[in-house]
Chain A
Amino acid sequence: MNLELLLPNLLTPMVLAFVLGILATRLGSDLKFPDAIYTLLTIYLLVAIGLKGGYKLSHTPFQSFILPILAAIALCILIPIWSYWILKRFGKFDNYNAAAIAAHYGSVSAVTFSAVVSYLDSMKSINPAASNYEGFMPGLLAIMEVPAIFIALFLARKYEIQSTASNDKATQVNMGAVIKELLAGKSSILLIGFLIIGFVIGDAGYNQVAPLFDAPFRGFLTLFLLEAGLMTGRRFEDLKKIGLFLVAFGICMPLIHAMLGIGLAKASGLGVGGATILGVLAASASYIAAPAACRIALPRSNPTFALTASLAITFPFNIIIGIPLYHNIAQYFYSL
Chain B
Amino acid sequence: MKLTKLKRITIILQEELESKLASELKAIGIKGYTVDKVRGEGLDGFRGSEWEGENMRMVSVCSEAVCDKILQHLQQHYLDQYACIVYLSDVEVVRGERFL
| Residues of chain A at the chain B interface (Cβ within 8 Å) | 35, 38-39, 42, 170, 173, 177, 181, 231, 287, 291-292, 295-296, 299-300, 302-304, 307, 311
Q: How far is the CB of B98 from chain A (nearest CB, A)?
A: 30
Does B3 lie at the interface of the complex (its beta carbon under 8 Å from any beta carbon of A)? no
Q: Tell me, rounded to whole Å, the shortest Cβ–Cβ distance linking A277 to chain B.
A: 24
With known contacts A295-B16, A296-B17, A300-B81, A307–B50 Cβ distance under 8 A: no
Q: Do A177 and B20 touch (CB < 8 A)?
A: yes
| A-B residue pairs in contact (CB < 8 Å), sample of 15 | A35-B49, A35-B50, A38-B50, A42-B50, A177-B17, A231-B51, A287-B51, A291-B51, A291-B52, A292-B16, A292-B53, A295-B16, A299-B82, A300-B81, A307-B51
Is A296 a contact of B16 with CB atoms below 8 Å? yes
Check B77 for interface membership: any CB of A closer than 8 A.
yes
Cα separation A292 to B49 with both chains bound (whole Å): 12
- 16 more CB-based (< 8 A) A-B contacts, given A231-B49, A299-B83, A303-B45: A35-B49, A38-B50, A42-B50, A170-B76, A170-B81, A177-B20, A181-B16, A292-B16, A295-B14, A295-B53, A296-B14, A300-B81, A302-B45, A303-B52, A303-B53, A304-B45
Give chain B nearest CB distance to A36 CB in angstroms: 10
A299 & B20 in contact (Cβ 8 Å cutoff): no
| A-contacting residues, B1-56, CB 8 Å | 14, 16-17, 20, 45, 49-54
Instruction: Write the chain B residue with the least CB distance to A42.
Output: B50
List B contacts of A304 (CB < 8 A): 45
Residues of B near A295 (CB, < 8 A) are 14, 16, 53
Q: How far is the CB of A244 from chain B (nearest CB, A)?
A: 21
Q: Which residues of A contact B81 (CB under 8 A)?
A: 170, 299-300
For residue B23, give the distance in angstroms from its CB to the closest CB of chain A.
11
> Interface on B for A, CB 8 Å cutoff?
14, 16-17, 20, 45, 49-54, 76-77, 81-83
Tell me, in angstroms, the Cα distance from A38 to B49 when the chains sit together.
Answer: 10
A-chain residues with CB within 8 Å of residue B54 when the two chains form the complex: 35
Residue in chain B with minimal CB distance to A307: B52
* CB-CB nearest in chain A for B49: A231
A-B pairs with the 10 shortest C-beta distances?
Answer: A299-B81, A299-B82, A231-B51, A295-B53, A38-B50, A170-B77, A296-B16, A295-B14, A295-B16, A35-B50
**Contacting residues, chain A, for B52 (C-beta < 8 A):** 291, 303, 307
Select from chain A the residue with minimum beta-carbon distance to B76: A170
Given contacts A292-B16, A295-B14, whether A173 and B53 have CB atoms under 8 Å apart is no
Q: What separation, in Å, do the CA atoms of A302 and B77 have in the docked complex?
A: 18
A291 neighbours in B (Cβ, 8 Å): 51-53
B76 cross-chain contacts in A, Cβ below 8 A: 170
Asked if residues A173 and B77 are in contact (CB atoms below 8 Å), the reply is yes
* Chain B residues with CB below 8 A from A287, complex form: 51
Could you tell me the distance between the alpha carbons of A326 and B20 in the complex, rounded to whole angstroms? 43
Chain A nearest CB: distance from B55 CB in Å?
Answer: 11
Name the B residues within 8 Å of A181 (CB-CB). 16
User: In the complex, what's the smallest C-beta–C-beta distance from A78 to chain B, in angstroms?
Assistant: 27
Q: What are the residues of chain A within 8 A of B17 when measuring CB–CB?
A: 177, 296
